[in-house]
Structure 1
Amino acid sequence: MSRFREELWQVVGGVYEQIAAHPFLAGLTDGSLPRESFRHYVVQEAHFLPDYARAQAAVAARAPDPAAVQTFARDAAMTVEVEHGLVVELLAAFGLEEADARKVPAGPATAGYSSYLVRTCSLGTFGEALGALVPCYWFYARIGEALLRSSSPDPLYAWWIETYGAQAYQETAAEALDLLDELPLGADDRGRLLEKALTTARFEWMFWDAAWRREGWPCG
């Protein structure tokens, strides 16, 4: 019997391929990414990651068993400690404090993605919430693993790649996928989960593209 993750990949894999081919990631690998695009990405991550941790905590609160509660509560804490900690250090490399980054508004893609995640994980079923979270886990693990093979000549970009290519992050993503495979779902529940996953996969592409273009609000 095939695992549910394989059905999910049939839905979101095409979006991942578009992300993997995006010039932002190509530039991370060969070092040609403009520093201002990476700076934009890091600043937007400073807005996004606290909400991502809130979404993980909301999933923990809705989890059906103690093991899943523990998994997502731990992941929420690790998002703040490791990923957000990395962002704070990267901001410092640009001569910025986190307070400076927060003076820059969250862009359209960041605000939309954060709001969708927090709403879905707070108000949806556990399956819907898990579907909304899984693309970020899975995509970052695959991107980190792929980019780690060649790393980057730019030490700042190599530092980022090593975080998501590291075995610890790969194991974190694998645990989320294992929970997905074990989730008992009817046909309607599976459909709603896949719908949420496709939406957040698209937001993932938008987030990378927004950094590449250094997206801002078109008015105001």
Structure 2
Amino acid sequence: MSRFRDELWRVVDGVYGRILVHPFLTGLTDGTLPREVFRHFVVQETHFLPDYARALAACGVRATSPAAVQRFAADCARTVEVEHSLHVELLAAFGLDQDDARRIGAAPTTVGYASYLLRVCHLGTFPEALGAIVPCYWIYARVGEALLEQSSPDPLYAWWIETYGGEHYQETVAGVLDLLDEVAATLPEADRARLCEHALTTARYEWLFWDAAWRRESWPI
């Protein structure tokens, strides 16, 4: 039986392929990624994740079933609690805290990605919001799963890989994909196309986010 998730993955698969071979991720697994590049990534994640949590909350507001509302409310809370704790520990590995991250500030790609998510989740329909948020769930799960097979000789990088490749995160993403299939099953073709369009945009932002860290992106002026 054909599932909508398979159709959607065909839309983003080319971007995912480019992500897997990006030097940021290959450097994670072979341990050659410069620590200052990973530091940049961690700082930008601390800026991005609160807005991602807000996008999840907005998606839940637009959800049409109590189960979907509960899912996104729970995932919003989990993002704030669990991801925050993870990044506090990662910042500490670099001798930084949340105040330091705030002083460093959000880079252009971080601002652009978060702004796009919030706009779609606040102004779009529920299916549009779902399309926008799914790639962050799904691509991290696929990346974590792929990288877990190789792990990393660097303990800090191995810890990050295990977080997203681990069974608990994979189960969370599986639940969101089940919801995606359920919602898409009753959508008109035009609405499915818009969902896919938003998903492709945020998948591209996923690549840009890692690339921005690799380049240690900053504001040019």
Query: TM-score band, normalised by the shorter chain?
Result: over 0.9
Q: TM-score, normalised by structure 2?
A: 0.98
1:212 aligns with 2:210: no
Q: CA deviation at 1:148?
A: 1.0
Partner of 1:117 in structure 2?
Answer: 117
- CA offsets per residue over residues 20-43 of structure 1, 9 Å max, x none? 110000011011000000000000
Percent of aligned positions with the same letter in both sequences?
72
The separation in 2 between residues aligned to 1:217 and 1:105, in whole angstroms, is 10
* Cα shift at 1:212: 0.5
Q: TM-score scaled to structure 1, two decimals? A: 0.98
Match of 1:84 in 2: 84
Residues 1:5 and 2:5 aligned together:
yes
CA drift of 1:123 comes to 1.1
Task: Find the residue that maps to 1:152 and give its secondary structure.
Answer: coil
- CA–CA distance in 2 between the matches of 1:9 and 1:166? 21
Q: For residues 140-173 of structure 1, what are the alpha-carbon distances to aligned partners after superposition, in whole Å with 9 as ceiling and x for unaligned?
A: 0011111111211111101111110111100111
1:148-163 matches, within 5 Å, as 148-163=148-163
* CA drift at 1:105: 1.9
Q: Deviations 1:85-137 (Å, cap 9, x if unpaired)?
A: 11111001100011110111211110000000011111110000000001111
Displacement, 1:205?
0.5
**RMSD of equivalent CA atoms:** 0.7
Structure 2 residue runs without a partner (length 5+):
none
Kindly report structure 1 stretches of 4+ aligned residues shifted beyond 3 Å.
none
- SS of the aligned residue for 1:71 comes to helix
Alignment partners' CA distance in 1, 2:199 and 2:160: 25
Separation in structure 1 between the aligned mates of residue 103 and residue 120 of structure 2, nearest angstrom = 27
Counterparts of residues 1-220 of structure 1 (less than 5 Å): 1-183=1-183, 184-219=186-221
Aligned length: 219
**What code does the residue aligned with 2:145 have?**
E
Structure 1 unaligned regions, length at least 5: none
